[in-house]
């Protein structure tokens, strides 16, 4: 397959000014008439017009109303005899396609008897022949015609300008709707929806006094699950106006939910299409985490309206221009909605946890790529945690280096310069810098932009020197970045390091003096050289350094903290992120020591008394938030532990972490009982951060109490847990109780699982949880894989539905290392079979599953050889999609 290089970008030879699309919607043969006006791009040498198309049946091509000659070159329709000169001309293309056979869910497809589209990145070419690239922005008019009874709702981008009945077709009454989008857009933002849908509606008036209609469309029966999505949408509109001065630019803004969707949601102009998972919620069916995800995904798609839609990407290498920036914006939105500062910190810790458990491994593996990649084979493989989450960290560092106000000024300049255009990451960074002359960002811009071009997670090693006589404290920093595929050597980056000093004995935040000036108790040090130092004066006692506060840069920080220093930070650091981080470092150290210990010392306890006491102190702390406590008491994941090791024995990691969990369960038994009792009753259900935090901590307590019961033989807590499962007034409490029974392998779990299924057999999203819980549960002697095989045979399993496939297969292969990495290789055999099977249905989803073995080279034997064999078996298939081919070939390279 062809490799596409960023350096090969050239402007299109033609512009498309207007597109007038007519659809006769029919699941087995949809007719698409595409009438465009085009003109030659005067800046590009004359050349034939090459239009992209995929799985289309071409019936007719007319130029200025006349038949014309054309040829096919692979998937491209090539027109050579076009009018000379720069005058616009009309091109009319008539094609048909088969939505009901579209299992890739790209282009036009059918889900639950309704039509949906997904055009990003290159799905529009599966609807009609087009210059399917983001820098071709056109004005769209769309007419939809369909059976009136089967498809009463007909939606597309923009404003509804006409609708009515048509003459009856052979199968009954038909109708039409005509939509005009008042904004020009790239083809990837096109959307249509047709089906039996109902809407929750809300009229709003913006700050600027404009009226808008907001609509959330779902299947009849789901309307009672749309209130939270609508509230989230209203909050998003208000936030973007308040924080960035960006108003809603449409009379009507629609969200439509579908249960068949490859990703989370899609920001089509004025007609966002969402995976039901990120729309539907009521307290009986959705957990607190679901509520929080809905808020952030609704925000994310809405914020794309400016960062992505009004200003879009020049080419797909610039994907992070819109994705990194929009993730940053949705993270800020969720933080700004938190009433308490501590809840903001919790959100930041959660975001960093995602980055470190998913993006850091990607950056160290075969798919490592810069935030602005240099090449790709299949663009769908580059909707990655690097583009999204690391991209968001790069934007966050820009804000850190220019201040919140300065960043807002930069955004304003960006819109002044580029509204309505398709631009690059360079254009964005230049705008933020130009709006902030004299800032570290402006002064260091070329070097800062290495964050866009260099892959790999940088490491910052810090070392401290205290001179008691001179009362100075010096921190010496050294930065490095490991080689990544195609990038053997790295240049130093601009790394903002937020710092503070904590008194080792007093625990107080020490005032900082630099160059004789008092600078408060927190300082932003900008590391630019490979090695660089900073000296604080008037330091009266040897402090504990609190480095990289708030995770001010996406790096690994190495500092040789003593246990006592980490315990001091855990107890006293005013920065909540570093307080949490200190606990993680202590737990990680214990895990690594235990993993390295001889195998016959398995009975030894990995966690020392000081750590356990510190955890007790956090759990019982009178003022800390429940949500924060829950994060501190969560041990680093098996995946995160594995990343710290050169040689990974997944079963050893699993065993050690399980031992640590059991130690926390038994040593803190009385404390968990206390925590459960104090946090169990939340009163009425509200998914706000404070009450969600209380439920999370109560759920954690229940999990530990059931785990301890497997050790002690106690039947009280499992019994209580089953009762709570039955009586729960919301899904969070119910699911936490179910999880507690399933994860500890208690005999009551089977009964609870059966009840849960019976209660929710008609709720697809809840059944996804039921499948995922069983496939992701802690492995004890290899029981999970046989259970997973049984789940695949369950009548409710459907491989074609991405949510269901993910709930079983991904939960096992990607999220259950202890179950998946089996010494008998059966997990890998299962993985290879599923990748091959899924690839024939939906390559995009298959390629995501294929990533489960990205880190196989780190595995110890016998895992390593077995994993390579499984990868080789997949790679040996000659008819693999480009999607899976790129992933497995890179893994094996
Ligand atoms: N921009 C959207 C990306 C997306 C997508 C990409 C490829 C195939 C299917 C897809 N569905 C959505 C989502 C977002 O980042 O907002
Ligand atoms: Zn996005």
pLDDT in tens, 774-831: 999 999 999 999 999 999 999 999 999 999 999 999 999 999 999 999 999 999 999 9
Alpha carbons 352 and 538: distance in angstroms, whole number: 33
Q: Indicate the top mutation candidate among 54, 105, 265, 299 to test ligand 1's pocket, ranked by most ligand atoms within 8 A of CB.
A: 265
Cis peptide before 862 (omega within 30 of 0): yes
What is the Cα–Cα distance from 296 to 343, expressed in whole angstroms?
Answer: 15
Report the SS3 class of residue 67.
strand
Report d(CA 444, CA 815) in Å as an integer.
40
Does the CB atom of residue 262 touch ligand 1 within 6 A?
A: yes
CA dihedral defined by 695, 701, 703, 707, rounded to 10 degrees? -170
User: What percentage of the chain carries pLDDT values higher than 90?
Assistant: 97
Closest to 193 (Cα-Cα) out of 169, 177, 170, 214:
177
List CB contacts of 537: < 8 A, sequence separation 6 or more.
Answer: 471, 472, 513, 514, 515, 516
Of 222, 274, 238, 251, nearest in space to 157 by CA: 251
When pLDDT is cut at 50, 70 and 90, the band that residue 602 belongs to is: low
Measured CA to CA, the distance from residue 695 to residue 385 in angstroms comes to 29
The pair of three-digit structure tokens given for residue 747, joined into one six-digit string? 């005999």
Question: For ligand 1, is residue 312 a contact (CB within 6 Å)?
Answer: no
Residue 801: alpha-carbon gap to chain centroid: 19
Q: Could you say which of 54, 301, 389, 638 is catalytic?
A: 301
Cα distances from 593 to residues 564, 602, 652, in angstroms, run 17, 12, 12
Residue 543 near residue 504, CB atoms below 8 Å: yes
What residue owns the CA closest to ligand 1's atom 8?
Answer: 120
Question: Residue 394: enclosing H or E segment and its boundaries?
Answer: helix 391-402
774 lines ligand 1 (CB under 6 A): no
Domain boundaries, the chain: 13-196, 202-287, 312-453, 459-560, 763-893
Give, using CA atoms, the residue closest to atom 15 of ligand 1. Answer: 323
DSSP 580-623: HHHHHHHHHHHHHHHHHS-GGGTTS-SS-HHHHHHHHHHHT-SS
How confident is the model at residue 252, as a pLDDT? 98
pLDDT-derived band at 743, boundaries 50, 70, 90: very high
Site of tokens 């807002």: 408
Per-residue pLDDT tens over the stretch 283-338:
999 999 999 999 999 999 999 999 999 999 999 999 999 999 999 999 999 999 99
Write out the H or E segment, with its range, that includes residue 832: helix 826-839
Ligand 1 centroid from CA 265, angstroms: 6
Question: Around ion ligand 2, which residues have CB less than 5 A away?
Answer: 323, 326
- What is the distance in A from the centroid of ligand 1 to the CA of 108? 15
Domain 763-893 has CATH 1.25.50.10: yes
Task: Pick one of 3.40.50.300, 1.10.357.10, 1.10.390.10, 3.40.50.1820 as the CATH number of 312-453.
Answer: 1.10.390.10
Q: Cα separation of 567 and 418, whole Å?
A: 50
Q: Name the nearest CA neighbour of 419 among 540, 326, 305, 288.
A: 305
Using the predicted structure, report yes or no on whether residue 627 has a pLDDT greater than 90. yes
Pocket test for ligand 1, best of 279, 383, 391, 883 (most atoms within 8 A of CB): 383
pLDDT of residue 357: 98
Any atom of ligand 1 within 6 Å of the Cβ of 547: no
Instruction: Tell me which long-range contacts 374-377 makes (C-beta under 8 A, separation of at least 24).
Output: 374/5, 374/6, 374/7, 374/317, 374/453, 374/486, 375/3, 375/4, 375/5, 375/6, 376/3, 376/4, 376/316, 376/317, 376/886, 377/1, 377/2, 377/3, 377/4, 377/882, 377/885, 377/886
The tokens describing 240, both together, are 């973007």
Mean pLDDT calculated for residue range 444-469? 98
**Range list of H helices, 155-287:** 227-244
199-221, pLDDT tens digit by residue? 999 999 998 899 999 999 999 99
**How confident is residue 604, by pLDDT bands cut at 50, 70 and 90?**
confident
Is residue 300 in contact with ligand 1, taking CB distance under 6 Å?
yes
Report how far apart, in Å, the C-alpha atoms of 346 and of each of 354, 397, 403, 578, 690 are.
13, 19, 21, 12, 11
Alpha carbon distance 771, 765 (integer Å): 10
75-84 mean pLDDT: 97
Summarize pLDDT for 688-711 with one digit per residue, the tens: 999 999 999 999 999 999 999 999
- Residue 34 makes CB contacts below 8 A (sequence gap 6+) with 19, 20, 21, 92, 93, 94, 95, 128, 129, 130
Supply the residue whose CA is at minimum distance from atom 12 of ligand 1. 266
**CA distances (Å), 242 to each of 224, 237, 245, 340, 548, in order?**
29, 9, 6, 19, 29
Q: Is 301 a catalytic residue?
A: yes
Which residue's CA is the nearest one to ligand 1's atom 4?
266
Instruction: Name the residue at shortest CA distance from atom 3 of ligand 1.
Output: 266
**What residue owns the CA closest to ligand 1's atom 14?**
266
Residues 6+ apart with CB under 8 A from 686: none
β-strands 459-467, 556-559: how paired?
parallel
Tell me the DSSP string of 693-706: HHHHHHHHHHHHHH
Please tell me the distance from the alpha carbon of residue 526 to that of residue 296, in angstroms, as a whole number: 31
User: What average pLDDT does the chain have?
Assistant: 97
Q: Which two tokens stand for residue 611?
A: 């750590």
Maximum pairwise Cα distance, the chain: 96
State the pLDDT confidence band at 507, using cuts at 50, 70 and 90. confident
pLDDT in tens, 245-283: 999 999 999 999 999 999 999 999 999 999 999 999 999
Mean pLDDT, range 620-628, rounded to an integer:
97
372, 317 contact by CB (below 8 A): yes
d(CA 386, CA 361): 10
Coil/strand/helix, residue 674 = helix
Which residue minimizes the CA distance to atom 10 of ligand 1? 263
* 380 C-beta closer than 6 A to ligand 1: yes
Instruction: Tell me the CA distances in angstroms from 860 to 606, 653, 822, one per residue in order.
Output: 22, 12, 12
Q: How remote is the CA of residue 408 from the centroid of ligand 2, in Å?
A: 20
Which ligand has the minimum distance to the alpha carbon of residue 191?
1
Residue 631 preceded by cis peptide, ω within 30: no
Query: Complex ipTM, two decimals?
Result: 0.98
Question: Which has the closest alpha carbon to 399: 428, 363, 360?
Answer: 428
CB of 114 sitting under 6 A from ligand 1: no
97's CB contacts (< 8 A; 6+ apart) are 29, 30, 32, 55, 56, 57, 107, 108, 126, 127
E-strand stretches of 172-331 = 172-180, 185-186, 192-195, 198-205, 211-218, 252-258, 265-266, 271-275, 312-313
Interval 661-674 mean pLDDT: 98
| CB distance 483 to 491 below 8 Å | no
User: In the block, which residue shows the tokens 């052979």?
Assistant: 170
Q: What architecture does CATH give domain 13-196?
A: Sandwich (2.60)
610/299 Cα distance (integer angstroms): 42
**Listed residue (825, 816, 822) closest to 869, CA to CA:** 825
Q: Which two tokens stand for residue 202?
A: 């809300």
Q: What is the pLDDT of residues 714-734, one digit of tens each?
A: 999 999 999 999 999 999 999
Contact indicator for 496, 557 with CB cutoff of 8 Å: no
Q: Is the CB of 122 under 6 A from ligand 1?
A: no
Atom of ligand 1 nearest to the CA of 383: 6
Residue 773 has pLDDT above 90, yes or no: yes
Among 654, 640, 537, which Cα is nearest to 595's? 654
Q: What is the pLDDT of residues 88-136, one digit of tens each?
A: 999 999 999 999 999 999 999 999 999 999 999 999 999 999 999 999 9
Res. 534 pLDDT band, cuts 50 70 90: very high
For residue 276, the number of C-alpha atoms closer than 13 Å in the C-beta half-sphere is: 24
Average pLDDT, stretch 643-657?
Answer: 98
Q: Return phi, psi of residue 106, to 5°.
A: -120, 135
In this structure, what DSSP letter does residue 511 have?
P
pLDDT at 19: 99
Taking the C-alpha atoms of residue 118 and residue 128, their distance in angstroms, rounded to an integer, is 13
Q: How far apart are CA 501 and CA 647, in angstroms?
A: 35
pLDDT band per the 50, 70, 90 thresholds, residue 155: very high
Share of the chain above pLDDT 70, in %: 99
Tell me: domain 202-287, CATH 2.40.170.20, correct?
no
Confidence of residue 681 (pLDDT cuts 50, 70, 90): confident
Taking the CB of residue 75, how many other CB atoms lie within 10 A of it?
A: 14
Q: Is the pLDDT assigned to residue 713 strictly greater than 70?
A: yes
Same fold, 312-453 and 459-560: no
Ligand 1, closest atom to CA 327?
15
Q: How confident is the model at residue 517 (pLDDT cuts 50, 70, 90)?
A: very high
CA distance linking residue 315 with residue 310, whole number of Å:
15
pLDDT above 70 for 682: no
As a CATH number, domain 459-560 is: 2.60.40.1840
């Amino acid at each position: 397959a062809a490799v596409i290089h960023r350096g090969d970008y050239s402007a299109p030879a033609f512009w498309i000014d207007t597109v007038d699309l007519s659809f006769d919607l029919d699941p087995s043969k949809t007719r698409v008439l595409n009438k465009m006006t085009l003109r030659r791009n005067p800046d590009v040498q004359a050349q034939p017009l090459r239009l992209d198309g995929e799985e289309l049946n071409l019936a007719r091509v007319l130029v200025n109303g006349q038949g014309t000659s054309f040829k096919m070159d692979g998937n491209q329709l090539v027109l050579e005899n076009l009018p000379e000169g720069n005058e616009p001309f009309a091109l009319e293309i008539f094609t048909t396609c088969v939505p009901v056979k579209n299992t890739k869910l790209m282009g036009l497809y059918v889900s639950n008897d309704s039509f949906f589209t997904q055009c990003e990145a290159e799905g529009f070419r599966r609807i009609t022949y087009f210059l399917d690239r983001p820098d071709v922005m056109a004005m769209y008019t769309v007419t939809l015609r369909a059976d009136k009874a089967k498809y009463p709702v007909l939606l597309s981008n923009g404003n509804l300008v006409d609708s009515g009945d048509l003459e009856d077709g052979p199968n009954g009454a038909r109708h039409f709707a005509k939509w005009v989008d008042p904004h020009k857009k790239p083809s990837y933002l096109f959307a249509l929806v047709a089906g039996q849908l109902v809407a929750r509606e809300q009229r709003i008036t913006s700050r600027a006094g404009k009226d808008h209609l907001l609509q959330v469309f779902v299947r009849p029966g789901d309307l009672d699950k749309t209130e939270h999505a609508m509230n989230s949408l209203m909050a998003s509109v208000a936030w973007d106006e308040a924080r960035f001065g960006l108003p809603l630019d449409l009379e009507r803004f629609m969200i439509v939910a579908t249960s068949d969707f490859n990703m989370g949601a899609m920001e089509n102009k004025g007609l966002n299409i969402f995976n039901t998972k990120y729309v539907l919620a009521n307290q009986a069916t959705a957990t607190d985490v679901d509520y929080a995800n809905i808020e952030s995904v609704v925000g994310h798609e809405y914020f794309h309206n400016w960062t992505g839609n009004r200003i879009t990407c020049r080419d797909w290498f610039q994907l992070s221009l819109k994705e990194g920036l929009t993730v940053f914006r949705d993270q800020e939105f969720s933080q700004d909605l938190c009433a308490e500062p501590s809840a903001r910190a919790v959100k930041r810790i959660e975001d960093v946890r995602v980055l470190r458990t998913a993006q850091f491994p990607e950056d160290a593996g075969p798919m490592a790529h810069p935030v602005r990649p240099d090449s790709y084979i299949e663009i769908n493989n580059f909707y990655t945690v690097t583009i999204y989450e690391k991209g968001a960290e790069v934007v966050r560092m820009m804000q850190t280096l220019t201040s919140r106000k300065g960043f807002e000024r930069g955004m304003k300049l960006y819109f002044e310069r580029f509204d309505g255009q398709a631009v690059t990451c360079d254009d964005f960074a230049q705008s933020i810098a130009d709006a902030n002359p004299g800032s570290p960002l402006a002064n260091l811009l070329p070097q800062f932009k290495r964050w866009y071009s260099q892959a790999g997670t940088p490491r910052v090693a810090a070392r401290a020197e205290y001179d008691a006589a001179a009362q100075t404290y010096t921190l010496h920093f050294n930065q490095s970045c490991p080689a990544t595929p195609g990038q053997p050597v790295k240049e130093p980056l601009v790394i903002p390091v937020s710092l503070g000093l904590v008194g080792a004995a007093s625990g107080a935040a020490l005032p900082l003096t630099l160059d004789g000036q008092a600078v408060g108790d927190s300082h932003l040090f900008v590391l630019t050289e490979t090695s660089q130092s900073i000296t604080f004066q008037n330091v009266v006692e040897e402090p504990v350094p609190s480095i990289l506060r708030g995770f001010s840069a996406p790096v690994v920080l190495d500092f040789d903290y003593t246990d006592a220093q980490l315990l001091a930070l855990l107890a006293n650091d005013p920065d909540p992120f570093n307080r949490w981080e200190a606990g993680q470092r202590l737990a990680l150290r214990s895990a690594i020591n235990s993993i390295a210990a001889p195998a016959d010392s398995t009975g030894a306890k990995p966690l020392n008394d000081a750590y356990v006491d510190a955890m007790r102190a956090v759990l019982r702390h009178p003022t800390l938030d429940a949500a924060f406590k829950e994060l501190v008491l969560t041990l680093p994941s098996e995946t995160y532990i594995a990343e710290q090791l050169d040689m990974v024995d997944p079963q050893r990691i699993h065993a050690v972490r399980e031992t640590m969990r059991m130690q926390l369960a038994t040593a803190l038994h009385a404390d968990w009982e206390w925590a459960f009792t104090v946090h169990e009753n939340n009163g009425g259900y509200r998914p706000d951060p404070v009450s969600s935090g209380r439920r999370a901590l109560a759920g954690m307590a229940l999990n530990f109490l059931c785990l301890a019961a497997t050790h002690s033989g106690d039947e009280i807590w499992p019994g209580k847990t089953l009762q709570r499962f039955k009586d729960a007034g919301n899904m969070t409490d119910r699911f936490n109780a179910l999880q507690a029974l399933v994860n500890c392998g208690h005999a009551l779990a089977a009964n609870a699982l059966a009840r849960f299924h019976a209660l929710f057999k008609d709720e697809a999203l809840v059944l996804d949880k039921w499948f995922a819980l069983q496939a992701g549960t802690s492995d004890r002697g290899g029981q999970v894989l046989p259970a997973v095989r049984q789940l695949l045979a369950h009548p409710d399993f459907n491989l074609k539905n991405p949510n269901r496939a993910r709930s079983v297969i991904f939960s096992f292969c990607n999220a259950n290392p202890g179950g998946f990495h089996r010494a008998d290789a059966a997990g890998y055999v299962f993985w290879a079979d599923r990748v091959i099977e899924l690839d024939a249905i939906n390559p995009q989803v298959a390629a995501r599953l294929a990533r489960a073995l990205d880190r196989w080279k780190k595995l110890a034997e016998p895992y390593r050889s077995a994993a390579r064999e499984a990868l080789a078996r997949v790679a040996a298939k000659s008819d693999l999609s480009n999607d899976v081919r790129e992933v497995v070939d890179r893994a094996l390279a």
